[in-house]
Amino acid sequence: MDATDRLMPGPEGKTPRFYEVDRGNKTESYISAVSGNPVVPEHIMLKEQAPPVEDPKKTWEPRALVVARPKNPDQIGLSEEELEQFRNDPCWKFIRTALFILFWLIWLALFAAAILLVCLSPACIVREKPNWWQTAVAYHVWVPSFQDSDGDGVGDVDGLIDRLDQLRKSGVQTVWPSPFLISDDDKTAVRSFSQMDPKLGVNQKADELIQKIHEKEMKIVISIPIATTSLEHEWFLNSASASKTPNANYSQFYTWVSKAADSNFFTEHKNLFYLHEKGNSKSAVLNWQNSNLREHMFNALSSWIDRGVDGFELLGIEYLARTPNGTEPENLPQKRGIRGNMRS
């Protein structure tokens, strides 16, 4: 008879009948699942039949049957029981302890190395604050065409003073008026290193301009040709007449030769030839090799500093030192020494 048939044979001598499953609150799907997948207990106490007793004094005792739990196929890694074996294994204990100690030794070594690097490394170079002339906004003013205050058609210092407020509000920090010194050509042929060009105003106006600029919290820079002068300059006139006793100290203020091969740099004056700018005979070149000349020039610069000028534009530095024939600049280290003396 089919095992699924609900009509099951009864005990021997009994009439077959239907037997009902005690379902209780269980559903049909639950009963089907349980019937097909029996749960295996972890520990089952089984009472087995007593074996034949050979020794009449030996009695049978029940024993525990240990059944291993099947491993879950969805489990990743080692189980708790497997990990327990490694945790108590002496070899793995030694490896774990050694790695733990090694980690902290390396950490302490790196920490000590970081401290040594901080202590032994050179300090950062202190960045020097730039000078004012390296960052200031300068306004180069061509004064004769800037502002005419008296209606003569030529700009002057008074006109510049009247516009200082406007310059300051526009962000100007340094005023650079040109031309400033009296000269023959408004450039390098200077007649005097201590006098402002009278076309711009009387010499006292220079001091007023300096004062007004400083009152506006601005600075002033002027242009000075340090290597050339006009033929009308006092130094040139004295040097050309150096045969006279009072002018003897000016004899070497300029370069004089008895013969000259290049007319672009030499021009005759009183039977001698003087060195001048290329193609400009009105601008005689000073002889910076002469210590007396250098002293006079430093005094001229110092006088303007004392009057309040903040800086200079040095013109004609290519004529500070020349070759013997005067046609090429030379002796660069000496030029640097001269400019170093000016800064000091």
Average pLDDT over residues 196-214: 93
> For 171, left (φ over 0), alpha (ψ -120 to 50), or beta?
left
Least confident of 218-222, 270-274, 316-320, 333-337: 333-337
Average pLDDT over residues 140-149: 92
The rounded mean pLDDT for the chain is 81
Give helix 291-306 / helix 332-343 axis angle, nearest 10°.
40
Q: Tell me the pLDDT tens digit for each residue of 223-239.
A: 999 999 999 999 999 99
What's residue 123's pLDDT? 80
- pLDDT tier at 47, thresholds 50, 70, 90: very low
Q: Quick one: pLDDT at residue 310?
A: 95
Structure tokens at 160: 């510049």
> Which domains are delineated in the chain?
132-343 (3.20.20.80)
Please state the length of the chain. 344
- Give me the amino acid identity at 163: R
Rounded to 5 degrees, what angle do the CA atoms 300, 306, 310 make?
95
Rounded distance between C-alpha atoms, residue 317 and residue 336, angstroms = 10
- The backbone torsions φ and ψ at residue 14, rounded to the nearest 5 degrees and listed phi first, read -110, 160
Q: What is the pLDDT of residue 282?
A: 92
Res 43 pLDDT > 50: no
Mean pLDDT of 148-173: 93
CA distances from 336 to 36, 293, 332 (A): 107, 17, 6
Read off the pLDDT of each residue in 139-156 and give the average, rounded to a whole number: 91
* Both structure tokens of 150: 């008296």
> Alpha helices of 37-136 — where are they, by DSSP H?
80-87, 90-120, 132-135
| Lowest mean pLDDT, pick from 47-56, 191-200, 235-244, 293-302 | 47-56
Mean pLDDT of 10-24: 53
Q: Could you tell me the pLDDT band of residue 86, with boundaries at 50, 70 and 90?
A: confident
Instruction: Indicate the pLDDT class of residue 333, thresholds 50, 70 and 90.
Output: low
Tens digit of each residue's pLDDT (9 = 90 or more) over 300-310:
999 999 999 99
Give yes or no for residue 3 having a pLDDT over 50: no
Using a pLDDT cut of 70, give the percent of the chain over it: 74
Residues of 10-22 as b/e, b for ≥16 C-beta within 10 angstroms? eeeeeeeeeeeee
Preceding peptide of 179 cis, ω within 30°: yes
Q: Which pLDDT score is estimated for 46?
A: 46
Residue 6 above 80 pLDDT?
A: no
Under DSSP, the state recorded for 329 is B
For the cut 80, the answer to whether the pLDDT of residue 316 exceeds it is yes
Kindly tell me the burial class for residue 213, based on how many C-beta atoms sit within 10 Å of its own C-beta (0-12, 13-18, 19 or more): buried
Percent of the chain with pLDDT over 90: 47
Nearest to 285 by CA among 341, 231, 339, 331: 231
Phi-psi region of 186 (alpha: psi -120 to 50; beta: other; left: phi over 0): left
Q: What are the distances in angstroms from CA 278 to CA 167, 186, 228, 339?
A: 37, 17, 12, 23
Tens digit of each residue's pLDDT (9 = 90 or more) over 222-279: 999 999 999 999 999 999 999 898 899 999 999 999 888 778 899 999 889 999 999 8
